[in-house]
Structure 1
Amino acid sequence: MDLADDLITDPYGVYDRLRTVSPVHQVTGTDGRPAWIVTRYADVRAGLADPRLSLDKANALPGNYQGLQLPPALDANLLNMDPPDHTRIRRLVGRAFTSRRVEQMRGPIRALADKLLDALGQTGTVDLISAYAAPLPVTVICELLGVPQERRGDFRGWVQALIAPDPDRPTAAREAVVAMMHFFTNLVADKRQRPEDDLLSSLIAVHDGQDGRLNEDELMSLVFLILNAGFANTVQLIGNAIWTLLRHPDQLAALRADPSRIAGAVDELVRLEGPALLAIRRFPTEEVTIGGVTVPAGQTVLLSLSAANRDPDRFSDPDRLDLERDATGHLALGHGIHYCLGAPLARVETEIALAALLDRFSRLALDGEEAVAWRPSMRSRGLTRLGVAYHSGAEG
């Protein structure tokens, strides 16, 4: 069935109907090619950990949906790899991308959030995506990778072209990829000559070290993946969380009353409105049976994270936001060996972004009927605009 448009305009309604009828359906993707979509929690969770469901495009049959196509120098990343290469690279990257590094960033992230909110003043209206949810993680990822201050404007422009393509400039995303490749090629060369205390220098040390086994394409692909996962997903996570709370004033008031609950609230917010509707596509290396449906080897399997997270067999009253709910076990950030490497950083950024926003403004509300615009995507769930009216004075 051709559900591409419906999956963009009403993803949760479509997933609910599909899940009710059958756990697995063959659909047509946005590129007109077929794929099997999986919607029930138990099947999605099992599929995320099933080694027979390969991420390597070499296992895909021609004519099936394959998702985003990147130049070879950017395609050798963890989202296209199976063990043993995936295991090797994730282990090497893990040496540089540590929980200690993330924890050390809490103070600077809060200072950045406060600086962005200072610029808004005490009262007014603003698009919180462009003024807050986007500049916060892009600055964090620039700091993490060691992008020079004077190049961050270019960097933000390229990333914006990737996450919110301009319909009047159909080649903008491709041009941004080319520009970023040139930029990172030069930045890697500079970091080799003058290494600093940043993630890119650490990755280069792994690449250049005697025990490192990252080739040049793997290094460039990792940088590109860290950029997109560390920025685009976090913008969506922060923006979706704010939007969800604004639509549930009782839950927002509860967080204001007890800010210590924000860390736990992130699990429920990401369960309900996570940044990824679908996990990265997979290709069975042999015939597999999922939810009683046989999928031939080489065809495309799309595991719906958002459908799984709203499965009533796993979460009671799943379409309702309940910050008292134990939402652990949600699949919004993956499961198994492909669990999001940057999840700890994304969580920290979201916690701090929410805490700083609620600390600063006693009143927040959506700014009119045209306040919200969503990125048109079958795979991701993210706002391109979030218009908000705010006020920092006392209630009353």
Structure 2
Amino acid sequence: MTTAKHQILIVGGGSAGISVAARLLRNGQSDVAVIEPSDKHYYQPLWTLVGGGQAKASTTERSEASVMPKGATWIRNAAATVDPDSNTVICSDGATYEYDVLVVCPGIQLDWNRTEGLQDAIGKGGVSSNYEYDLAPRTWEFIRDLRSGSAVFMMPSGPIKCAGAPQKIAYLAADYWRRQGVLKDIDVHLVVPTPRLFGIPAIADSLDVVAADYGITVHTSAEVTQIDATGRKVTVSGVGENGSDSMLAFDVLHAVPRQSAPDWIKSSPLSTGDANGYVDIDKHTMQHVRYPNVFSLGDAGSSPNSKTGAAIRKQAPVVADNIAAFLASRPLGASYNGYASCPIVTSSHAMLLAEFNYDMKVTPSFPVIDATKPHRGYWYLKKYGLPFMYWNLMLKGLA
């Protein structure tokens, strides 16, 4: 079986892997390889707008070849095992790759099977999810066709990518139904495991107003634990002290699966060892806590920031700089402060841009605009500005 050696080996050719590869090559590194099996690359943040009928799925997809940085070696394979003690990654076909520095960023695993009944229900009978490319257009079909009845929007407990996405689609759906004149005939429920709709009080206050304006019943400290597709109902279980159990009927259900690190990472020495199994890193340097030549960023890392593309944009330069320092035997000087941004679309023309760091302190990029309230300008940023920045700047290591 093939054995090859690369100075820097990156596992994952998504937002994180491509951004870091581009930066490393710009910084003068010459031997950078990316392990990525998929021939497609997706701009996932727009899938919410696809599910809400505001964008076409095709605009979120490009070929992986078109985003692979010039100068990077693309290994079209899937990582299956990592042995950090021997500095090797073994792929699913048995090919082995050695490295001096490893960057682990394969993204997050969608655990459809961890919510009872979800795996069998998804994609039909009114049950869909914006968390997959093929399903987001189905979400829009179900929303568009509903004229009366009940709709449930759920968020699971535990870390997930873009924690705002489960509620954004509720607001887009309610906005659409209002414009169609049928919102009064639809009973809308939003089920979240958190005590409030957002971890920052001022933003939670704004979202309370948005939900109330649409007449959405918000179930806090609760999560959907079972889906009965035949009976068209879900079991809601309380989370923590203030949660309560209930049963909700649905005609449309926007489902979000529980999420965790890919299984091959969970079972590896790189894992934190807990149920979610993320790569165990220092939250500021992004360096592994036990293997100094291993770094991780993006959704697979254990850093306690929100798992968003905006977080990756701030993590990538830190990882690239710290790899250069490591290879030169210098102390790691770059530090990530936990910045994340959660663009919460509240209607077909307004968005709230929540930007914050590890301390949950609001850190707005546009201080002149009140960051805790929805604005029309932010909506244009979401639909046009951020995708442009992603394809043309971030993936090229320029932003």
- TM-score, normalised relative to structure 1: 0.25
| Higher RCO (C-alpha under 8 Å, 6+ residues apart) | 1
- TM-score, normalised relative to structure 2: 0.25
